Chain A
Amino acid sequence: MNTGIPTRETDTGGTSSGRAKPVDLATRETARAGLLLVAPAVIITAVLVLYPLVKGFQTSLESADTAAGGTPHFVGLRNYGDVLSSSTARDAIVHTLLYAALAVTLELVFGLVVAMTLYRVFRGRGIVLAILILPWALPSVLSGVLWRRVLDPDRGLLNSLLEQLHLVSHPHVWLASRGGALVFITLVHVWGVLPLVSLILLAGIQSIPEEVYSASAVDGATPLRQFRHITLPLLRPSIAVALTVGTVWAIKIFDEIYVLNGTALNTRSILMEVYTITFVDADFAHGTALAFLLTALTMLFAAAYAVALRRSTT
Chain B
Amino acid sequence: MSWASERARQEFLNCVDRQLGGLDYLERREIIDELAIHLLDIEERLAATGSEGTDAAARAIATMGDPVRIGAKLRDEHLASRLMLRDAFLTGLPLLILGAITAFVPVLDELRRLWGANSDPFQPLLVLGAMLIGSVWLLRRVDHSVFAVLTGILAVFTLVPVTRIVQVTSQWPVSALWLGLFFLIAVPGLLAFVVRFGAFRTSLALLGGVGGYGVYAWGGPGGHVVYPSAEDTFFLLGLPLIVVPFLGTVALSIAPRRWLQATGYGALLASWCVILLFHMIQFDARFGPLPSPKLVSSQSPPLQVSEMISVPVLIASVVALLGIHLLIRLQDRAAIRSFIDRLPVR
Chain A bound to chain B: no
